[in-house]
Amino acid sequence: MLGRLISYAIGGVFVLTLLVAAFAPREAVVEDPNHALHKYPMKISWAQDGVFGTFDRAQLQRGFQVYKEVCAACHGLERIAFRNLVDIGFSEPEVKAIAKAYEVASIDDKTGEASTRPAVASDYFPSPYPNEVAARAANNNALPPDLSLITKARQGGKDYLHSLLVGYGQPPAGHEVPEGLYYNPYFANINIAMPPPLASAGQVTYAEGQPEPTIDQMSRDVSAFLDWAAEPKAETRKRTGVAVMIFLLILTGLSYLAYRRVWAELKSRGAH
């Protein structure tokens, strides 16, 4: 009896405290004017979507070209090694040639001083800035993020990335864009420090037989490429997953039959 009273008392105190809080007057919430302007990413259909979707290798190679010629000026890709490019359809000699065009940090083996050497396939993409301070200094105190994980690190992933790249526009009347920033309704803060990277069609020249390099096309290609870069094992994962699921479906069926069999024996025994 005493225990029950203690329990009522403790419960009563918690409930009372919560009800006081629930009925306490709320301070008026100041609506963030940017909130109304914010847009959710467009829904885009991708070759790699779905259980059986695979990356479009030609698209990834075009996307790599866009990254190399446009994004790489400010954004690193530090978790991708040149050898990984074999996955998107480059041959080993092509990868070696791509790597050779990059200079990576090294140490002079005679003087011990910092120097550079041409990259080899096992090297990772060098970042455009030596450190964060230098990156901020060169970009009006905004830090261009490394792009190796960008589609996993942003809600909406590749849809968001594409929406952001093509989403620049004129601000609506009454919206003031601060100096040095650009209007982009897909960006969480509406005003983004990155100038429109894809400014005009044909900014990148695609090889013969590839689609027209419109802004939309370049944006899709580089978004697909960065989606691959965020998880190069995604195709392997889905392929393994399909095999695992087929195996498990069969095993589930068999184990169900075995279970019914075992219990059927019990029932037949019970009836005799």
> What residues line the site for other proteins (CB under 8 A)?
3-4, 7-8, 10-22, 24, 26, 29, 51, 79, 81, 83-84, 120-122, 145, 148-149, 152-155, 157, 188, 230-233, 236-238, 240-241, 244-245, 247-252, 254-259, 261-268, 270-271
Q: How far is the CB of 226 from other proteins (least distance, A)?
A: 12
- Closer residue to other proteins, CB minimum distance, 106 or 210: 106
- Closer residue to other proteins, CB minimum distance, 201 or 242: 242
- Closer residue to other proteins, CB minimum distance, 200 or 252: 252
- Closer residue to other proteins, CB minimum distance, 95 or 222: 95
Compute how many other C-beta atoms are within 10 angstroms of the C-beta atom of residue 69.
14
Q: Is the dihedral of CA 94, 96, 100, 104 positive or negative?
A: positive
Q: How far is the CB of 15 from other proteins (least distance, A)?
A: 5
- Closer residue to other proteins, CB minimum distance, 165 or 230: 230
Which residue has tokens 């990868």?
Answer: 95
- Closer residue to other proteins, CB minimum distance, 201 or 254: 254
Backbone angles phi, psi at 182, to 5 degrees: -130, 150
Q: How far is the CB of 59 from other proteins (least distance, A)?
A: 21
- Closer residue to other proteins, CB minimum distance, 201 or 257: 257
Q: How far is the CB of 92 from other proteins (least distance, A)?
A: 11
Q: How far is the CB of 239 from other proteins (least distance, A)?
A: 9
CB 157 within 8 A of CB 35: no
- Closer residue to other proteins, CB minimum distance, 69 or 146: 146
Q: How far is the CB of 209 from other proteins (least distance, A)?
A: 31
Show the tokens assigned to 171: 């601000």
Q: How far is the CB of 118 from other proteins (least distance, A)?
A: 11
Q: How far is the CB of 260 from other proteins (least distance, A)?
A: 9
Query: What's the CA angle centered on 98, arms 96 and 103, to 5 degrees?
Result: 95
